[in-house]
Amino acid sequence: MTPTTLFYIIIAILIIDFIIDKTLDALNAKHYKDVVPEELQDVYDASEYNKSQDYKQTNYKFGILTSTFSIILTLGFLIFDGFEAIDNIARSYSENPILIALIFFGIIMIGSDILTTPFSYYQTFVIEEKFGFNKTTKKTFWFDKIKGWFMMTILGSLILSAIIWFYQTTGNQFWLYAWALVTAFTVFMNMFYAKLIVPLFNKQTPLEAGSLRDKISAYAKTVGFTLDKIFVIDGSKRSTKANAYFSGFGSEKRVTLYDTLINDLDEEEIVAVLAHEVGHYKKKHIIFNLAASVLLTGFTLFVLSLFISKPILSQALGVETPSFHIGLIAFGILYSPLSEITGLLMNWFSRKFEYQADDYAKNTYKAEPLITSLKKLSKNSLSNLTPHKAYEFMHYSHPSLLKRIQNLRK
């Protein structure tokens, strides 16, 4: 195979992926105004339903704009040798492969962020604001950006530098050392993310004593679940949308409730949502997801090791001097179809796990408050009640609201 052939394969992958994605979006959009199933008739009243339709249509049109901009930019970069130009700039500052890669990706990331920030700003302060979701101030928006850059610079640079160093010193065996590093980092972040990273962006406070904490503690005792760390996060700082999640293991195990969740749901519904989250923990879904992530990372790195030393990867992007960082870009695009397949598989498992967690909540607590909580959360986020089956299969990590309610009422 010649570099030119590989270049056209890369172009084809990008275009085909774009066409499939936009086709699914269009199919899904055609179902926005489908008749709402009888089980969901009480989610929206007439005005709220019209508002949800408007919200979905607005995001659909905005998604077409942003994704079209992205594909045109990417194709233009490939066709007009943008990667070669940035590689030449990076090489003008250093001859060290690690420094060259850091400068290269630094330019890519900064340039990408500059180009996409206007879209993010519009999404937050125009679309989300229009529909009553946005609570983010402009100060918070820009401080989040700065913190994100800082974290990416520190953590991204350290991990990338280590992986390239492994490649330079061990050759094609680098993937084993890189896998060990990424695994250690993943486990560490799963353990301490809530303690170390979340406080950079949000305030977390222990759930105060009262009837809600008493009900949560009483439920936890009935299922033999030790739960001492219950925190409330100031999600309303950025959005009116609600959430709850488990994080950590062992002594670092904790549940985090968004303040918006506490405001939107009554205490019975909150305990039901918590019972669902306990179900994930009891059914070892968190362990499964962590293990699957580690195994998929190892597989990806192994496949990368088979191809990264081949000059054709760099040459396909118009760069004559073979390098790890250019090869990594080409490999990322070529690997994306396989990544799509593994993503579909993980979504299938995720939907299955949601049913299992719902069943656990139904059997150890009550089904009805979980049903009403799901309806309220769907209403408050203006979610789509009638997704297209193909779109749901490709993109949903959770079953649709209708399917979850039907399962809970079995």
Give how far Cα 12 sits from Cα of 63, 302, 316, Å.
21, 24, 13
> Looking at the annotation, which residues are catalytic?
277
**N- to C-terminal Cα distance for the chain?**
56
Residue 223, C-beta contacts closer than 8 angstroms, at least 6 positions apart: 275, 278, 282, 364
Report DSSP letters for 79-113, one per residue. Answer: HTTHHHHHHHHHHTT-S-HHHHHHHHHHHHHHHHH
Nearest to 253 by CA among 195, 167, 208, 175: 195
Residue 201, C-beta contacts closer than 8 angstroms, at least 6 positions apart: 144, 147
Q: Answer whether 244's CB lies under 8 Å from 273's CB.
A: yes
What is the dihedral sign for C-alpha 375, 379, 380, 382? positive
